[in-house]
Structure 1
């Protein structure tokens, strides 16, 4: 049974321009002990999906879904207290904007200790000292050397990179079953990025933590993720095993992302232009009908004014009328468990 099973999730936002669909029938499945990558441009709705799973919607959201299950429990039927308990014990998230996610009036060490569970095997008179040592251990693991100074500091006294490391330590200190990492290595140097990804991989392999890794860097996700979902403008374009998608993409958007990965071999002339997909992502109040990639798609034809059905080929899913390397599919084959 999948750990997280979402079917046809739609999020509508009330804006000054009227109601718009930020997410349109998005389906996502995460199995136990799996690293699932979610790639897409800024504004594609990745963070909205993560917040919907956590149960922290905005005041102007309207959420609809055929199914939104967590380990056999229906998230849509839970009350706010049940969702908070779930967030505190089983689901954790590394937010994209760490400095605004930390409390500015409470020191970082107190916030980290509050997020840690009590160890009932340790006598109560030793728990505070033990929690402090454990908190310093987690800060050291995420790449902070002067742990005592950071523990006694406030969020506004730390750099953006240090706040990001603290957020990661808070998220993983509670040993969640699902960790949602929204751009977890933002504002970090290259060697620290590799250290964080190795730590997340170790949590996945040794403790069986499932990870939803959100990023706009396809080359990074291709290294660390088992499964991959490609998102554009609130719709899932393609999903399946990462190695198969990288080797043979079906959707034109996935192929464009792979073609536009920067070449670091140094063979290109100096100041040569990088390949890009023509046009730009549309605003939410001016979304195209049918396939949302249509105005930018090199494969687009008249048929693309109708939204393509989700096609299922073996363990791959894609939504395109004219896929690469595969015959088109006319029937809606939304996956069911």
Structure 2
């Protein structure tokens, strides 16, 4: 049974210009112990999806879905108190903006200790000391050397990179069943980025933590993720095993992303123009009808004014009327879900 199963999630936002669909019919499945990558550019709706899973919607949101199941429980039927308890124990999220996510009036050490589970095997008079020791260990694991100094500092006294590391320590200290990492290595140097990804991979392998890794960097997702979902302008374009998606993309948007990756093997290619899609991503107030990639898509035809349904071919899912795939044989039909 999937740990997280979302079908046809739609999020509408009330704006001064009227109601707009920020997410439209988004489906996502996350299995236990899986690292699932969510690829998309800024404004594609990745963070909205993550916040909807965590149960922290905005005041102007309207959420609809065929189902949002967490380990057999319907998230849409849960009370606010139950969702909050679930978020504190079984789900955790590394937010993209760490400074605004930390409390500026409380030192960092207290915030880490508050997020840690209680070790009831220890006598009550040793639990506080044990928590402080464990908190310093988590800070060291995420790449902070002066752990005691950071523990006694406020968020506004730290740099963006240090705040990001603190947020990661808070998220992983509770060892949740699901960790949502929204651009977890922003404002970090390359060496520290590799250390963070190794830590997340270790959590996944040793503690069976499922991870939803959100990023706009395909290179990182291809190295660490088992499965990959590609988002564009509030819709899922394609989903499947990472190696298969990279080897043979079905959706034109996925192919455009792969074609845009620089080829460093040829020293002359840096002088040539990179392949890009024409135009730019539409705003929320001016979304095209049907497939939202339609006005920019090299495969677009008249039929694309109708929104494509999510098609299923083997272990791959894609939403496109004219995908890049070989026609299936008669004994292996293409199905629509």
**1:3 and 1:71 in contact (8 A); partners too:** yes
- Residues of 1 paired with 2:22 and 2:36: CA distance? 21
Displacement of 1:68 in angstroms is: 0.3
Q: Does 1:333 align with 2:336?
A: yes
Corresponding residue of 1:37:
37
Displacement of 1:225 in angstroms is: 0.2
Where 2:23 maps in the other structure, the secondary structure is: strand
Q: Which runs of no fewer than 5 residues in structure 2 stay unpaired?
A: none
Displacement of 1:271 in angstroms is: 5.3
Displacement of 1:332 in angstroms is: 6.8
Where 1:2 maps in the other structure, the secondary structure is: coil
Where 2:202 maps in the other structure, the secondary structure is: helix
The 5 Å alignment of 1:151-162 reads 151-162=151-162
The 5 Å alignment of 1:29-178 reads 29-178=29-178
- Residues of 2 paired with 1:307 and 1:241: CA distance? 24
**2:10 and 2:26 in contact (8 A); partners too:** yes
**1:4 and 1:31 in contact (8 A); partners too:** yes
Cα distance per residue 1:71-97 (max 9 Å; x no partner): 000000001100000000000000000
Normalising by structure 1, what TM-score?
Answer: 0.97
Displacement of 1:52 in angstroms is: 0.3
Aligned residues: 334
Where 1:228 maps in the other structure, the secondary structure is: strand
Cα distance per residue 1:227-265 (max 9 Å; x no partner): 000000000000010000000000000000001012334
Displacement of 1:304 in angstroms is: 0.7
Further displaced range: 286-295 or 265-274: 265-274
Displacement of 1:192 in angstroms is: 0.3
Corresponding residue of 1:318:
318
Displacement of 1:269 in angstroms is: 5.4
**2:22 and 2:45 in contact (8 A); partners too:** yes
Displacement of 1:331 in angstroms is: 8.1
Corresponding residue of 1:299:
299
- Residues of 2 paired with 1:47 and 1:70: CA distance? 18
Normalising by structure 2, what TM-score?
Answer: 0.97
Q: Which runs of no fewer than 5 residues in structure 1 stay unpaired?
A: none
- Residues of 1 paired with 2:22 and 2:334: CA distance? 25
- Residues of 2 paired with 1:297 and 1:267: CA distance? 30
**2:312 and 2:334 in contact (8 A); partners too:** no
The 5 Å alignment of 1:257-296 reads 257-265=257-265, 267-268=267-268, 272-296=272-296
The 5 Å alignment of 1:177-216 reads 177-216=177-216
- Residues of 1 paired with 2:315 and 2:39: CA distance? 18
- Residues of 1 paired with 2:111 and 2:319: CA distance? 43
- Residues of 2 paired with 1:89 and 1:52: CA distance? 17
- Residues of 1 paired with 2:316 and 2:124: CA distance? 51
- Residues of 1 paired with 2:278 and 2:268: CA distance? 21
